Amino acid sequence: MRVTEMNWMQVEAALANDDRCVLPLGSTEQHAYLSLSVDSILSERVATEAAAPLGVPVFPVQPYGLTPAFRAYPGTVTLKMETYLRVVRDILDSLAEQGFRRILICNGHGGNSPAQSMTVEWMGANPHCQVRWHNWWNAPKTFAQVQATDKLASHASWMENFPWTRLPNIRGPEHQKPMADLDLMRLQGPKGVREVLGDGNFGGLYQRDDAEMQAIWDVAVAETRALIEGPWA
């Protein structure tokens, strides 16, 4: 159940029977020829599809994350670390105050990982609550399916190219891009990162067959649903 499609009375009724919810985290950053909202689109969609049969509320995705390296790409928006951790903490505080006790964070952006440590700290201060952190794209079963499809999978490559992350009438190159020198990239500021990456794809094909992508997606939804179901402590 998407909270954007509920009113407060429906949320209250849901809470009376179940204290679980899902909070998707995303990012607004360059993804080569794909939408700048790839991470937000994917985390919210996989959370929504996974939670739907369970009747568990899914909150709107947090669309801004930590992506300072891509600031030289127009459209990228990044928060400061302190700001981001405060935002996620405030959201958790609100959920706990309303009675949510089992919270799955469905994260769609690797750069958001500092918040995972913060959630452990937060649980120490809120022992009545449990937070489960889930990087949906590299969870064990999902990542195994990605690797079985094509081992050269990276940021802004085919592995993030789903029908719902593409832009109308825009398609990336047909060739396989050589893997960028990521060690060199990590030594650069934003302008240098753009010089190393060019269009933003780290390496690999830009698109694969939709049937292959659906197979990956089906695994991701099932794996996410299993985490929502539990067991919880």
The CATH code for residues 3-229 is 3.40.50.10310
Look at residue 233 in the predicted model and tell me its pLDDT. Answer: 86
Look at residue 206 in the predicted model and tell me its pLDDT. Answer: 98
Look at residue 181 in the predicted model and tell me its pLDDT. Answer: 97
Closest CA to 228 of 27, 52, 4: 52
Look at residue 159 in the predicted model and tell me its pLDDT. Answer: 98
pLDDT in tens, 119-153: 999 999 999 999 999 999 999 999 999 999 999 99
Overall average pLDDT of the 84-103 stretch: 98
Within 8 A by CB and 6+ apart from 22, the residues are: 47, 50, 51, 56, 57, 58, 59, 103, 104, 105, 106, 228
Look at residue 65 in the predicted model and tell me its pLDDT. Answer: 98
Structure tokens at 58: 């899914």
pLDDT in tens, 11-57: 999 999 999 999 999 999 999 999 999 999 999 999 999 999 999 99
pLDDT in tens, 62-71: 999 999 999 9
Whole-model pTM?
0.97
Structure tokens at 184: 């060199």
% of the chain exceeding 90 in pLDDT: 99
What's the mean pLDDT when you consider all of the chain? 98
